[in-house]
């Protein structure tokens, strides 16, 4: 029992769940339903490729952060003067965009569960998130809530999969022999899973927990892979649920495809489960986005560092005000993942440059295979992005 308690409270586990639950937001649910509806079983190939790319990103970034012992923006500034400020600005803007969608998701989830107006639901959820950071040991509360709600989402979605009766053999077959390959779907999934602030969420959490240095690398690697595995498991479960529904000839609602997956698979009970999963996914993403975005901003001035808790709460409150002002941006939930896919090559490139600066890495030699993996990911994302631009998708 004591061993289980130590594992549950481990900063490595906390970092993995923070990364995973930051990725699993409203956009994550929407993207998965949309692309399953579009690609069918061939979406399994997209998921498989994105998981491989995600692991390459996470292992590189988390190892570099852990060995250097400093945050990503400080590494970027040492590599290219001023680059850390640019990176922080992009991360904060992306985090804000994500949080607007996240708060929209909390409002939608509470509307399904209680019938309240989505705006009131978003405001109530923003107050909950602000309250978490306002508590003593707020980061500990954030970690615990991410773990509990992360497991709950997996269990509830697994229940829906059982009722959807997906064609498992076909999904496995198309994971390696797809009928079509959609580059847009790949970059959107990678951007939605490790793009923007998400790839730094767990890494910065480890630094704040004091996990750093070459001796910690085996644990850091396991934590990074665990985070990707958790996010991938949720993605696969959502895919299977949607595939089961689509393969039976049902048509997903354009306005809310993820909700129709749950409802068509398990009736009204499924619809209520969707509300719960949506709220859990959204509120954990709100806290993860706010925490990570502020972790990029607070090192620029000692006053920000001292008032990081207030800065985090202000970030959440401002996100709520933006949502109330502009309403629910329907296409943002899918598009923001793609936008973060453009930021990712820059962020990963700066981290790889930092891996070969002796004053940053203190004598550590970054594995050549990881560097090659990271460069391959950058090239792949840039290539897919250029194809998407030429096709006029963005």
Least-confidence region, from 85-89, 125-129, 171-175, 336-340? 336-340
CA atoms within 13 A on the CB side of 338: 18
Distance in angstroms (rounded) separating the CA atoms of residues 210 and 11: 9
pTM of the predicted protein model? 0.89
**Tens-digit pLDDT profile for residues 185-211:** 887 788 778 877 888 999 999 998 889
Q: Which CATH homologous superfamily contains domain 12-390?
A: Amino acid/polyamine transporter I (1.20.1740.10)
The encoded tokens of residue 192 equal: 């939605």
Of 35-49, 128-142, 181-195, minimum mean pLDDT range? 181-195
Q: What is the pLDDT of residue 157?
A: 95
Q: Is the pLDDT of residue 353 over 80?
A: yes
Tokens of 146: 């991410």
What mean pLDDT do residues 161-188 have? 91
Instruction: Give the Cα separation of 43 and 236 in Å (integer).
Output: 10
Local confidence band at 7 (pLDDT 50, 70, 90 cut-offs): very low
pLDDT tens digits for 357-368? 988 998 899 999
Tell me what percent of the residues of the chain surpass a pLDDT of 90. Answer: 63
3-state secondary structure (DSSP) of residue 298: helix
**Is residue 3 exposed (0-12), middle (13-18) or buried (19+ Cβ within 10 Å)?**
exposed
Between 199 and 167, the more confident residue is 167
Please check the confidence at residue 322 and state whether its pLDDT lies above 90. no
Structure tokens belonging to residue 82: 């001023």
The predicted structure's pLDDT at residue 1: 41
Rounded Cα gap, residues 328 and 335, in angstroms = 13
Q: What is the C-alpha separation between 27 and 252, in angstroms, rounded? A: 16
**What contacts 24+ positions apart, CB below 8 Å, involve 5-11?**
8/147, 11/205, 11/206, 11/209, 11/210, 11/211
pLDDT at 67: 94
Q: What angle do CA 43, 48, 51 make, to 5 degrees?
A: 125
254 has pLDDT over 90: no
The whole-number pLDDT of residue 336 equals 55
pLDDT, average across residues 87-94? 87
8-20 mean pLDDT:
83
pLDDT digits (tens, 9 = 90+) for 39-76: 999 999 999 999 998 998 999 999 999 999 999 999 99
Contacts of 285 (CB under 8 A, 6+ apart): 21, 22, 23, 24, 25, 26, 98, 99, 102, 105
CA distances for 235 relative to 33, 118, 227, 297, angstroms: 10, 25, 12, 30
Distance CA 220, CA 12 (A): 7
Statement: residue 2 has pLDDT above 70: no
CB 277 within 8 A of CB 149: no
Give pLDDT, residue 188: 79
- Report d(CA 370, CA 364) in Å as an integer: 14
Structure tokens, 138: 């707020």
Residue 146 CB coordination number (10 Å) = 29
310 within 8 A of 43, measured Cβ to Cβ: no
Distance set, CA 324 to CA 42, 45, 118, 296 (Å) = 38, 38, 10, 25
pLDDT at residue 5 in the model:
43
* Cα angle, residue 374 at apex, residues 373 and 377 outer, rounded to 5°: 90
394 has pLDDT over 70: no
> Does pLDDT of 333 surpass 90?
no
Hunting for tokens 């997956």 — which residue is that? Answer: 261
């Amino acid at each position: 029992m004591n061993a289980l308690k130590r594992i549950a409270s481990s900063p490595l586990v906390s970092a993995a769940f923070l990364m995973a639950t930051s990725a699993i937001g409203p956009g994550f649910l929407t993207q998965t339903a949309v692309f399953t509806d579009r690609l069918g079983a061939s979406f399994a190939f997209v998921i498989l490729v994105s998981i491989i790319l995600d692991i390459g990103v996470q292992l590189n970034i988390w190892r570099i952060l852990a060995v250097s012992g400093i945050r990503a923006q400080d590494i970027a500034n040492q590599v290219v003067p001023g680059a850390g400020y640019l990176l922080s600005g992009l991360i904060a803007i992306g985090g804000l965009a994500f949080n607007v969608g996240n708060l929209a998701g909390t409002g939608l989830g509470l509307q399904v569960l209680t019938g309240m107006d989505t705006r009131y639901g978003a405001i109530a959820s923003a107050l909950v998130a602000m309250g978490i950071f306002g508590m003593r040991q707020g980061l500990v509360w954030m970690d615990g809530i991410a773990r509990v709600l992360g497991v709950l989402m997996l269990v509830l979605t697994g229940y829906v999969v059982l009722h959807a009766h997906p064609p498992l053999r076909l999904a496995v077959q198309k994971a390696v022999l797809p009928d079509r390959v959609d580059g847009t779907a790949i970059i959107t999934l990678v951007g939605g899973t490790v793009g923007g602030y998400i790839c730094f969420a767990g890494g910065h959490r480890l630094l704040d927990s004091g996990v750093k240095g070459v001796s910690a690398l085996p644990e850091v690697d396991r934590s990074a892979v665990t985070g990707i595995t958790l996010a991938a498991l949720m993605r696969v479960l959502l895919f299977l649920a949607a595939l089961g529904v689509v393969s039976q000839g049902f048509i997903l609602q354009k306005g809310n495809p993820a909700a129709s997956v749950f409802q068509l698979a398990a009736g009204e009970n499924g619809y209520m489960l969707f509300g719960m999963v949506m709220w859990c996914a959204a509120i954990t993403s709100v806290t993860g986005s706010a925490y990570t975005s502020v972790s990029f901003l607070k090192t620029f001035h000692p006053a920000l560092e001292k008032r990081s808790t207030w800065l985090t709460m202000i970030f959440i409150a401002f996100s709520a005000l933006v949502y109330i002002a502009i309403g629910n941006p329907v296409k943002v939930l899918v598009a923001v993942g793609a936008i973060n896919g453009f930021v990712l090559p820059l962020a990963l490139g700066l981290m790889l440059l930092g891996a070969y600066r002796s004053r940053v890495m203190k004598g550590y030699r970054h594995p050549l295979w990881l560097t090659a993996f990271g460069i391959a990911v950058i090239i792949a994302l840039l290539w897919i992005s250029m194809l998407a631009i030429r096709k006029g998708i963005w």
